[in-house]
Chain A
Amino acid sequence: MSDPAFDPAAPLVPSGNLRRRQLVSRFAELGATAAAVVAIAVLVIVIWTVVSRGAKAIDLDFIFTGAPTGVGPMLLGTLVIALVATAMAMPIGVLIAVYTTEYSGARGSRILKITLDLLNGLPSIILGLFVFILIVDPQNKQTGFAGSVALAIIELPLIARGSQEVLLLVPAALREASDALGVARWRSILTVVLPTALGGIVTSTVLAVARAAGETAPLILATSSFDPKKFSVNPFEALPNVPVWIYKLSEEGNPEGFTEAWGMSLLLISFILFASLGARALLARSKRKLSS
């Protein structure tokens, strides 16, 4: 008040240092928003490219016939490889989740968590080398099964972690009710806990499959020399598959091959996007249902 320059009628706008600070803050906000916009833009550009270039290639022949007009064998092979992988990874993953939630102490589950994190972080090319030396080399031939083993290792930590999260949400009251009725532990796990969590477990599995379906690096070593014309469901021979075929076509540098690769990319990416978006929505719903 002793300030001679104080003018009570002056408009309330920041000046000097405050003005500078607010400007800095505004810039930071702008930068953060721009970063989000950039990420979304990249996503949109990639997907738009795949859709606009791939849609031309896709018709019924493309999906249901073999080379050179279509990619049916690759689609079928990827399906088989993914199914076999999931058949291996899902039981083990769920059992690991049961082990960490029901049996292991804090120390055991911490070690398991680190193990799963490390497994999850393994570069997929390393898994390719692994199955090559473990399965392909001894048999001296590539097999779809070797690819499935690699994909199973990729899926395993995802399924285990997803199932674990859902199992932890199963209400304690259910389990206590089961205990109070004198039900043995294994019975209550198998008939009360797991069925309650089933929805969440299945959706976690779908998410894991969506992640594994596009993996290319292990399949290049495990199942890459195949006949693109032959439909096959036998996992003990080299199975045609989508990711490796896209990779091969992209390396060849022939424009018709590029169109085919875009078409396959569109099929693969739409499966992955729909599966992961759908599973995410379902997972959120079943988690909400469990925790309410």
Chain B
Amino acid sequence: MATASPTVKVAPRGAHVSPLRRRLDRFGDRALFGVCLAAAIIAAATIVLVGYQIVHGAQPAISKYGFAFVYEITWQPNFGEFGAGVLLYGTAVTSAFALLLGAPIAIAIGLFLTLLAPKQVGAVIGPLVELLAAIPSVILGFWGLLVLAPFAQEHLEPTLHDHLGFLPIFGDPQTTGLSVFTASLVLTIMVIPIIASISRDLFQSVPPELQDGASALGATRWEVVRGIVLPTTSTGVVAACILGLGRALGEAIAVSQVIGAGSHIDANLFAPGDTLASRIALQFPGALTELHQASLYYCGVILLVLNLAAGLVASWIGRRFGYAGTVAR
């Protein structure tokens, strides 16, 4: 009976391969891993290096003004006095306005694409809305300067002033149309495609059983949206809005073309203003002194902090509430 079970000779893995080849393969495996790891490290290092260099460039202004720079409102390069208060205000107002106007439109577009549009129509309109994000900011700004600003100055601003003039934000229209209001409209155009495409992806991830269940119980389409679609995706939509906010905060070129480079805080949206990013774009190439340059870097630091905070919060929400789809495009 039990004779020794036939011994099977198992050749060690790769034994038929020549030693040279084996060594080459071992080297190749390590080399490829090393190169890939290096690439990943470069990406991570870039972010750290960007932060370090910007803070480094701002050093003279940071040591001179400290934190007071953030709320100080004088900015007079000729007298060597700098403070980012006006710019911070302008950044906050333009971004908030853009988000207030853009987010509802963008979310509505997301709903339209997922729930209302027939498949073929959605397949055309979805990419078209994303194309809006592909228009370079300098072209959008140029269009804003020559087309949107005159239109706003002649039609939108007087109309709003006449009907809602009792609100201080809709004060007297200015002569040029270059205003915080126009800048906000341009930013609105920029945030819409970002929020719209993310919210469309979110809405598509809502389980159809839930929606069908609600419909079966007699809910109208709006009630399905109100009761099922929005509640299940609300955190993701908030994250999308924060990403849009990050985009609006940092836009330099288009804003600098249409905001009119004002230097005062004015409650009136139709007055010129300025933002952190746009001030950098406008004044950096002709910076007068080292302190002037350092102050512009300080603006960059503030911008970077706001932007990274927005990005981290969005990705934290995305992770915490499990929306893999919530990524910037």
**Are the C-beta atoms of B145 and A250 separated by less than 8 Å?**
yes
The answer to whether A210 and B109 touch (CB under 8 A), given A96-B40, A221-B285, A280-B127, is no
**Are the C-beta atoms of B135 and A46 separated by less than 8 Å?**
yes
Interface of chain A residues 87 through 102 with chain B (CB within 8 A): 91-93, 95-96, 98-100, 102
The answer to whether A95 and B36 touch (CB under 8 A), given A32-B112, A35-B105, A130-B50, is yes
When distances are taken between beta carbons in the complex, the residues of chain A under 8 Å from B117 are 36
Interface of chain A residues 133 through 188 with chain B (CB within 8 A): 133-134, 153, 156-157, 160-161, 182, 184-187
SS class, residues of chain A in contact with chain B:
helix
The answer to whether A123 and B43 touch (CB under 8 A), given A28-B222, A29-B221, A95-B35, is no
The answer to whether A39 and B196 touch (CB under 8 A), given A156-B43, A221-B285, is yes
Q: How far is the CB of B314 from chain A (nearest CB, A)?
A: 8
When distances are taken between beta carbons in the complex, the residues of chain B under 8 Å from A246 are 138-139, 142
Stretch of B64-72, B159-167, B247-255 with 4 or more beta carbons under 8 angstroms from chain A: B247-255
Interface of chain B residues 87 through 119 with chain A (CB within 8 A): 104-106, 108-109, 111-113, 115-117
The answer to whether A186 and B252 touch (CB under 8 A), given A21-B223, A115-B44, A121-B243, is no
Does B13 count as interface, using CB distance less than 8 angstroms?
yes
Does B210 count as interface, using CB distance less than 8 angstroms?
no
Bound form: Cα–Cα A22–B222 in Å = 8
Interface string of A11-22 (1 = CB under 8 A from B): 000000000011
When distances are taken between beta carbons in the complex, the residues of chain B under 8 Å from A268 are 136, 139
Q: How far is the CB of B14 from chain A (nearest CB, A)?
A: 6
Does B257 count as interface, using CB distance less than 8 angstroms?
yes
Q: How far is the CB of B280 from chain A (nearest CB, A)?
A: 5
Q: How far is the CB of A38 from chain B (nearest CB, A)?
A: 6
Does A190 count as interface, using CB distance less than 8 angstroms?
yes
When distances are taken between beta carbons in the complex, the residues of chain A under 8 Å from B37 are 99, 103
When distances are taken between beta carbons in the complex, the residues of chain A under 8 Å from B252 are 123-125, 217
Q: How far is the CB of B264 from chain A (nearest CB, A)?
A: 21
Q: Which residue of A lies closest to B146 (CB)?
A: A258
**Are the C-beta atoms of A99 and B40 separated by less than 8 Å?**
yes
When distances are taken between beta carbons in the complex, the residues of chain B under 8 Å from A46 are 135, 139-140, 143
**Are the C-beta atoms of A272 and B134 separated by less than 8 Å?**
yes
**Are the C-beta atoms of A50 and B43 separated by less than 8 Å?**
no
Q: Which residue of A lies closest to B145 (CB)?
A: A250
Interface string of B27-56 (1 = CB under 8 A from A): 011011101111110111011011001101
Does B206 count as interface, using CB distance less than 8 angstroms?
no
Q: Which residue of A lies closest to B121 (CB)?
A: A36
**Are the C-beta atoms of A247 and B138 separated by less than 8 Å?**
yes
Which of B47, B54, B113, B127 makes the CB contact (< 8 A) with A118? B47
Does B57 count as interface, using CB distance less than 8 angstroms?
yes
Q: What is the interface residue range for chain B against chain A?
A: 35 or more
Bound form: Cα–Cα A270–B127 in Å = 16
Does B128 count as interface, using CB distance less than 8 angstroms?
yes
Does B328 count as interface, using CB distance less than 8 angstroms?
yes
Bound form: Cα–Cα A275–B117 in Å = 26
**Are the C-beta atoms of A129 and B280 separated by less than 8 Å?**
yes
Q: Which residue of A lies closest to B224 (CB)?
A: A25
When distances are taken between beta carbons in the complex, the residues of chain A under 8 Å from B315 are 114, 117-118
Q: Which residue of B lies closest to A225 (CB)?
A: B285
The answer to whether A184 and B112 touch (CB under 8 A), given A121-B247, A123-B251, A134-B53, is no
**Are the C-beta atoms of A269 and B136 separated by less than 8 Å?**
yes
Q: How far is the CB of A18 from chain B (nearest CB, A)?
A: 8
Does B17 count as interface, using CB distance less than 8 angstroms?
yes
The answer to whether A36 and B142 touch (CB under 8 A), given A43-B132, A122-B307, is no
Interface string of A109-123 (1 = CB under 8 A from B): 011111111111111
When distances are taken between beta carbons in the complex, the residues of chain B under 8 Å from A258 are 146
Bound form: Cα–Cα A156–B284 in Å = 26
Does B312 count as interface, using CB distance less than 8 angstroms?
yes
The answer to whether A112 and B43 touch (CB under 8 A), given A126-B303, A258-B146, is yes
Does A237 count as interface, using CB distance less than 8 angstroms?
no
**Are the C-beta atoms of B109 and A35 separated by less than 8 Å?**
yes
Which of A28, A40, A187 makes the CB contact (< 8 A) with B125? A40
When distances are taken between beta carbons in the complex, the residues of chain A under 8 Å from B39 are 91-93, 95-96, 99
Q: How far is the CB of A275 from chain B (nearest CB, A)?
A: 9
Bound form: Cα–Cα A156–B9 in Å = 50
When distances are taken between beta carbons in the complex, the residues of chain B under 8 Å from A185 are 29, 32
Q: Which residue of A lies closest to B24 (CB)?
A: A184
Bound form: Cα–Cα A39–B199 in Å = 15
Does A31 count as interface, using CB distance less than 8 angstroms?
yes
**Are the C-beta atoms of A129 and B57 separated by less than 8 Å?**
yes
Query: Other CB < 8 Å A-B pairs besides A29-B222, A39-B196, A128-B284, 7 of them?
Result: A36-B112, A40-B125, A118-B312, A125-B281, A157-B43, A216-B137, A220-B285
Give B residues with C-beta under 8 Å from A.
Answer: 13-14, 17, 25-26, 28-29, 31-33, 35-40, 42-44, 46-47, 49-50, 53-54, 56-57, 104-106, 108-109, 111-113, 115-117, 125, 127-129, 131-132, 134-143, 145-147, 189, 192-193, 196, 220-223, 225, 243, 246-247, 249-253, 257, 277, 280-281, 284-285, 296-297, 300, 303-304, 307-308, 310-312, 314-315, 319, 327-329
6 A-B residue contacts at CB 8 Å?
A36-B112, A117-B328, A214-B137, A216-B137, A261-B142, A269-B139
